[in-house]
Amino acid sequence: MSSAETIHIDGVWRAAASGAQREVLDPADAKTLAVVSEGGADDTDAAVAAARRAFDGGQGAWPRTPVAERAALLRRVAELLQRDREEIALTESRDTGKTLEEGRIDVDCVADAFRYFADLVVGEGAGRVVDAGSDTLHSVVVHEPVGVCALITPWNYPLLQASWKVAPALAAGNTFVIKPSEVTPLSTVLLMKLLVEAGLPDGVGNLVTGAGDPVGARLSEHPDVDLVSFTGGLASGVKVAQAAAPTVKKVALELGGKNPNVVFADACATDEDFDTAVDQALNAGFIHSGQVCSAGSRLIVEESVRDRFVAELARRAEKIRLGRGTEDGVECGPLVSAQQLDKTEAYVASALAEGATLRCGGSQPEPNEVRPAGGYFFSPTVLDHCHRAMKVVREETFGPILTVETFRTEDEAVALANDTEYGLAGAVWTKDAGRARRVAGRLRHGTVWINDFHPYLPQAEWGGFGKSGTGRELGPAGLAEYREAKHIYQNLAPEPVRWFAG
């Protein structure tokens, strides 16, 4: 397979039908990292047709493959991921800009997801028996695969987000077509190779590299696609839902967030507590240069500790070591693209125009031995004296920007944290166990951390309220997204009804 043959349809690697190609850029220096096929509508239609055949085939088709065999394949994929951990982590680091250590963690999490869904389906019963009120009636609810799934993944965590979709889709017995972001497609190509090596039958898994329009748009509207699972921005998610509506297919959307990190004064009562809260605020806002859907980009801190907290936060943020993610000692990599860099600069400019105070960052750093000229680097930025009317506080910036708001009362803290059209994740920091439970219970976000930020578990559902999307990934509900419930009612002693007199 040449480097440009990155489309995989019905077991065959191929170039785009049009012959078009796209350069994938290294965000650390803006130089060409790889060349991939630029798929179009024809490639998409061929991939969907292959997935349709693999789903609708005879007794040997994937949906009728025994659960134990499907689970065994998922476990083989997990083993292969660990075998190729360094290669995949390096690819993810260079493609997305994140540090190599973050890439390694991603590979481990992906393997965990494949193992989790393998264990989940193997441990299930044959169905839920329903009491129909008679010994002569047998009633059971079973779950069957949805069908052909279109899986559209984002550029920030391409491998991780692919696993959150591919693993449950296959575990449930579906076939799929996956479209990674055109900005960061390389690790998804590697994952598809591992699926093939693990023994995935031809046509069950298909990959089309290419742009959102036409590939993602065609997948969303395609009449032979039964489900679309999309992770990405709000505007694109709305387009996916609109395109899918005429065919009334299932749609699952994870559309990001504007996530509050609420710090009460009692969480800073001792020097050790203070150090932990500041450290976690840095992690919340600046991991992967803030290019995280659950990033704690809104620091909401109690007024009495605000000055000390923000001063220390800014001091530490200035010391974050920026550079190419594969270099030793680098703590934070570049933004993923020139477009994302431009957006970040524009958000900072708008915040300053609206009255925010720049405490650190706010511009591109000077190049050095680990930070090549031309890379999409932006210094971690802390903006103080922010308020809800500001664009930078309302909108998902997806950059290393942390805004600071303050509160005086618990009610005010909750009101600020919930004052967003999104509702993906949030955190509360306090030593008061009662307050922690009260605030966590009142926050309208799909994940709430208490005295922590960012961890997730494959066993626990992930998703959001409001404009953060619909449906859930991970956990039992994440598997349920890829299934349809069917009620089978059997009369063991049928008799005439005699409703009609004739």
Nearest to 160 by CA among 141, 184, 125: 184
Helix or strand run (H / E) with residue 401: strand 401-407
The token pair that represents 298 in the structure block: 């809104």
Q: Give the phi and the psi of residue 368 in degrees, each rounded to 5.
A: -150, -165
- Secondary structure (DSSP) of 228-265: EEEES-HHHHHHHHHHHGGGT-EEEEE-----EEEE-G
Q: Which residues pair with 260 in a beta bridge?
A: 298
Is 254 a known active-site residue? yes
- Secondary structure (DSSP) of 40-71: -HHHHHHHHHHHHHHHHSSTTSGGGS-HHHHH
The token pair that represents 393 in the structure block: 């506080």
Q: Please pick, among 254, 302, 396, 461, the residue that the annotation labels catalytic.
A: 254
- Dist CA 136 CA 334 (whole Å): 67
- Dist CA 342 CA 470 (whole Å): 29
Q: Give the phi and the psi of residue 441 in degrees, each rounded to 5.
A: -70, -25
- Dist CA 432 CA 446 (whole Å): 22
> Can you state the angle between helices 158-172 and 100-122, rounded to 10 degrees?
10
Q: Which residues pair with 142 in a beta bridge?
A: 486
Instruction: Spell out the residues 6+ positions from residue 255 whose beta carbon is closer than 8 angstroms to its own.
Output: 231, 232, 233, 234, 237, 422, 464, 467, 468, 469
> Can you state the angle between helices 100-122 and 85-96, rounded to 10 degrees?
120
Do 485 and 315 touch, CB atoms closer than 8 A?
no
Which single residue is written with the structure tokens 């703590």? 331
Q: Catalytic residues, which ones?
A: 254
